[in-house]
């Protein structure tokens, strides 16, 4: 019988079922995760997708389906899960806060496209990120890029929220970083309970954002309408 991490068998995993248990803020990767090149991974995944579609009864000789296995494989490696590879992590260049801006900076409504690691179905939503400078500032687009990077991997929303905060704390040299994500999970919306209205909200607050007043200010900024 298969044994995975911590000696869990397929039977154990099946019994966990919908109890989605998170283990760490780190994405669970094997030590040999990057031994294969992207091209080698695409080739192997292409074969696996071919097997899946064939098992489902699909005729891959059809013009519409013939290229699907390779398209899926390329999308997995190069796009949807490109954030797994550390070489794709964006450079988070910072600058001295020469203009002495001492208030909260909020980048809101950052689009989130991710993939639920439990069913490999999309997660779609918005992230709102803020920090208070302790001497360094970061380019606004870098905040979007770090969200995108960690979203491009099999994810749970709680972990994604924590990873965004931790990456910005490290880059900015301050604990005063916060992130709120509001997203729809197609594993809920399109299967199982099939609730198309519900969304999931997660938050991670560091440093000053743990203070009630600072947290309230951040949440009030998120609610502001942007009319430009």
> Catalytic residue numbers?
116-119, 157, 185, 187
- Tokens (6 digits) for 188: 């809920």
Half-sphere exposure of 16 (CA within 13 A, CB side): 10
Of the candidates 71, 160, 85, which has an alpha carbon nearest to the alpha carbon of residue 115? Answer: 160
Round to whole Å and give the CA distance between 128 and 130.
Answer: 7
- Neighbour tally for 205: CB within 10 Å: 19
Q: Is 99 exposed, middle or buried (0-12, 13-18, 19+ CB in 10 A)?
A: exposed
- Tokens (6 digits) for 99: 């203009």
- The DSSP-derived string for 164-226 is HHHHHHHHHT-S-EEEEEEEEEHHHHSSTT--SS--EEEEEE-GGGGSHHHHHHHHHHHHS--
Of the candidates 150, 152, 154, 104, which has an alpha carbon nearest to the alpha carbon of residue 129? Answer: 104
Round to whole Å and give the CA distance between 204 and 144.
Answer: 17
Which runs of consecutive H residues, i.e. helices, occur in the chain?
10-16, 38-55, 68-74, 140-151, 157-172, 186-189, 212-223
């Amino acid at each position: 019988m298969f044994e995975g991490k911590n000696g869990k068998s397929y039977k154990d995993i099946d019994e966990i079922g919908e109890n989605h248990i998170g283990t760490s803020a780190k994405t669970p990767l094997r030590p040999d995760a990057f031994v294969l090149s992207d091209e080698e991974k695409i080739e192997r995944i292409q074969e696996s997708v071919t097997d899946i579609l064939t098992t489902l009864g699909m005729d891959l000789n059809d013009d519409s389906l013939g290229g699907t296995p390779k398209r899926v494989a390329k999308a997995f490696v190069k796009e949807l899960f490109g954030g797994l590879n550390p070489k794709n992590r964006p450079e988070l260049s910072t600058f001295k806060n020469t203009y002495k801006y001492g208030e909260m900076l909020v980048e809101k409504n950052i689009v989130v496209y991710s993939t639920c690691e439990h069913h490999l179905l999309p997660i779609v939503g918005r992230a709102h990120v803020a920090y208070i400078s302790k001497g360094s500032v970061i380019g606004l687009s870098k905040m979007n890029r770090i969200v995108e990077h960690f979203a491009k991997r099999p994810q749970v929303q709680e972990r994604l929220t924590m990873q965004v905060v931790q990456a910005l704390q490290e880059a900015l040299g301050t604990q005063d970083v916060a992130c709120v994500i509001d997203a729809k999970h197609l594993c809920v919306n399109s299967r199982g309970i099939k609730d198309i209205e519900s969304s999931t909200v997660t938050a991670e607050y560091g440093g000053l954002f743990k203070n009630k007043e600072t947290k309230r200010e951040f949440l009030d900024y998120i609610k502001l309408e942007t009319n430009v």
